[in-house]
Amino acid sequence: MTLLSVRDLTVQFQTDEGVVTAVDGVSFDLAAGEILGLVGESGSGKSVTAKSLMQLNGGNAIYGGPGKITLSPRGQDPVDVLGLRRERHMGVIRGGAISMIFQEPMASFAPALTVGQQMVEQLRIHTDLSRRAARDLSVEMLTRVGISDAVKRFDQYVFEFSGGMRQRAMIAMALSTKPALLIADEPTTALDVTIQAQVIDLMKNLVAEFGMGILFITHDLGVIAQTADRVAVMYLGKLVETGAVRDVLRHPAHPYTRGLLAALPQLDDLTAPLIPIPGDIPGPLDRPAGCVFHTRCAQAVKGICGMTVPSVTQVTATHHASCFALEVPA
Ligand SMILES: Nc1ncnc2c1ncn2[C@@H]1O[C@H](COP(=O)(O)OP(=O)(O)OP(=O)(O)O)[C@@H](O)[C@H]1O
Ligand SMILES: [Mg+2]
């Protein structure tokens, strides 16, 4: 059952230097009970895509043309997210049908309230739990994300938490309302590997238990391999490859995906050279014409890749990539 459908999403920002295109014609689906990984280098548009799902990109964001985001939470009518014009209507979705774990945990907590007060408040808004039950569930969730002495921590302020603990508290708060869709933006980057494994396990359990769908953003392909069912690879605002994790990581079709994999350290062969992708990611104000990756691509064909945008090509029924090398000449 499709939980989220994103079609031709384009997001631009009006800035002093000009109009920045952060997301360019992105389409993907996410089913209930599925974890979709979104990967790409810094600045590729992952967070902007995620924030679009909750209209959190700020006042200077322009959502382009035919772009459409449809959310179909279990048993409810589909919601046209970009069509929700009133803050009040979007507020019902945020924290209820959709929860988001932000890259910056401080953004999720108010400094003047205790962590517990905020968790209970959120549960009281989005569920019909009593104050007592909301407190118990909050303490349970803090424990489940690996916060020891959760009863004491419940009454503390966020500035009393370490960075990793803030991250975990935010994850606990986001998961406590059991949203239909969880957007997790680099949820485990600040955590050490054992806690990271614990948090990933918790998310997987909740997917199995409640059929929650997760959009999991990271630039760590190792985490994607452990966590996601499908993966979407993003570069300069474009999705260049999508497919089942196994297919994409074992048989990457796009030169960018191959580049990302070649740049990963191999734990089983520490002498293997790391091969970085040549060149720098261009600034959003000078996005290349044609295929956005052609300026860094060893396989770029003169006169084609710099001129024309490649279309989405089917590699297998469940694996797609946008690259001229894959297109069969007509
Ligand atoms: N409010 C804004 N105003 C102007 N430009 C913005 C705004 N928000 C994002 N951008 C630009 O959009 C592009 C995509 O940003 P985004 O935060 O989505 O990248 P990201 O893939 O999440 O990167 P990272 O891995 O570093 O988190 C960047 O070039 C960024 O500078
Ligand atoms: Mg980001």
Residue 302 lies in a domain: yes
**How high does pLDDT run on average in the chain?**
89
Atom of ligand 1 nearest to the CA of 217: 22
Region 97-126 average pLDDT: 88
Q: Do residues 215 and 76 share a domain?
A: yes
Q: Do residues 42 and 137 share a domain?
A: no
Query: Ligand 1 pocket, 43 CB below 6 A?
Result: yes
Q: Do residues 226 and 89 share a domain?
A: yes
| The pLDDT value given to residue 49 | 96
Residue 144 lies in a domain: yes
What's the gap in Å between 237 CA and the centre of ligand 1? 9
> By percentage, how much of the chain surpasses pLDDT 70?
98
Q: Do residues 267 and 298 share a domain?
A: yes
How many domains does the chain divide into?
2
Atom of ligand 1 nearest to the CA of 219: 25
Least confidently predicted of 51-65, 129-143, 247-261, 269-283: 269-283
Whether pLDDT at 223 is above 90: no
Q: Do residues 115 and 192 share a domain?
A: no
Q: Do residues 131 and 77 share a domain?
A: no
Residue 226 CB neighbours (<10 A)? 15
Residue 327 lies in a domain: no
Q: Do residues 271 and 232 share a domain?
A: yes
What are the residues whose beta carbon lies below 5 Å from ligand 2 (ion)? 47
**What does the pLDDT look like over 4-22, one tens digit per residue?**
999 999 999 999 999 999 9
- Residue 168 and residue 101: Cα distance in Å, rounded? 10
| The pLDDT value given to residue 140 | 95
Pairing outcome for strands 98-101 and 35-39: unpaired
**What does the pLDDT look like over 276-322, one tens digit per residue?**
888 888 988 889 999 999 999 999 999 999 999 999 999 999 999 99
Closest ligand to Cα 42? 1
Q: Do residues 193 and 174 share a domain?
A: no
Where among 159, 178, 197 does a domain terminate?
178
Atom of ligand 1 nearest to the CA of 20: 5
Within 13 Å, how many C-alpha atoms sit on residue 214's CB side? 28
Give the range of the structural domain holding residue 42, as residue numbers without chain letter. 2-97+179-321
- Global pTM reads 0.91
Residue 246 lies in a domain: yes
Q: Residue 206 in 3-state DSSP?
A: helix
Q: Do residues 314 and 237 share a domain?
A: yes
Contact 209, 181 (CB under 8 A): no
CATH number at residue 306: 3.40.50.300
- CA 261, 264, 269 angle in degrees (round to 5)? 115
Region 84-88 average pLDDT: 75
Residue 296 lies in a domain: yes
Closest ligand to Cα 57? 1
- Where does the pLDDT of residue 108 fall: very low under 50, low under 70, confident under 90, or very high at 90 and above? confident
Q: Do residues 84 and 118 share a domain?
A: no
Where among 120, 155, 178 does a domain terminate?
178
Q: Residue 147 belongs to what H/E stretch?
A: none
At 262, the amino acid letter reads: A
Measured by CA distance, the residue closest to atom 27 of ligand 1 is: 42
Higher per-residue pLDDT: 199 or 17: 17
Buried b or exposed e, range 49-69, using 16+ CB within 10 angstroms: bbbbbbbbbeeebebeeebbb
| The pLDDT value given to residue 157 | 96
Residue 314 lies in a domain: yes
Whether pLDDT at 266 is above 80: no
Atom of ligand 1 nearest to the CA of 186: 27
Least confidently predicted of 48-62, 187-201, 244-258: 187-201
Query: Ligand 1 pocket, 162 CB below 6 A?
Result: no
Q: Do residues 148 and 241 share a domain?
A: no
Whether pLDDT at 261 is above 80: yes
Whether pLDDT at 30 is above 60: yes
Residue 143 lies in a domain: yes
| The pLDDT value given to residue 143 | 93
Region 128-133 average pLDDT: 95
Where among 178, 202, 224 does a domain terminate?
178
Buried b or exposed e, range 179-196, using 16+ CB within 10 angstroms: bbbbbbbbbbebbeeebb
Residue 61 lies in a domain: yes
- Residue 287 and residue 300: Cα distance in Å, rounded? 16
- Where does the pLDDT of residue 329 fall: very low under 50, low under 70, confident under 90, or very high at 90 and above? low
Query: Ligand 1 pocket, 20 CB below 6 A?
Result: yes
Please state, in angstroms and as integers, the Cα–Cα distance from residue 325 to each residue in 162, 276, 310, following that order: 48, 21, 9
Closest ligand to Cα 102? 2
Q: Do residues 161 and 307 share a domain?
A: no
- Residue 240 and residue 255: Cα distance in Å, rounded? 9
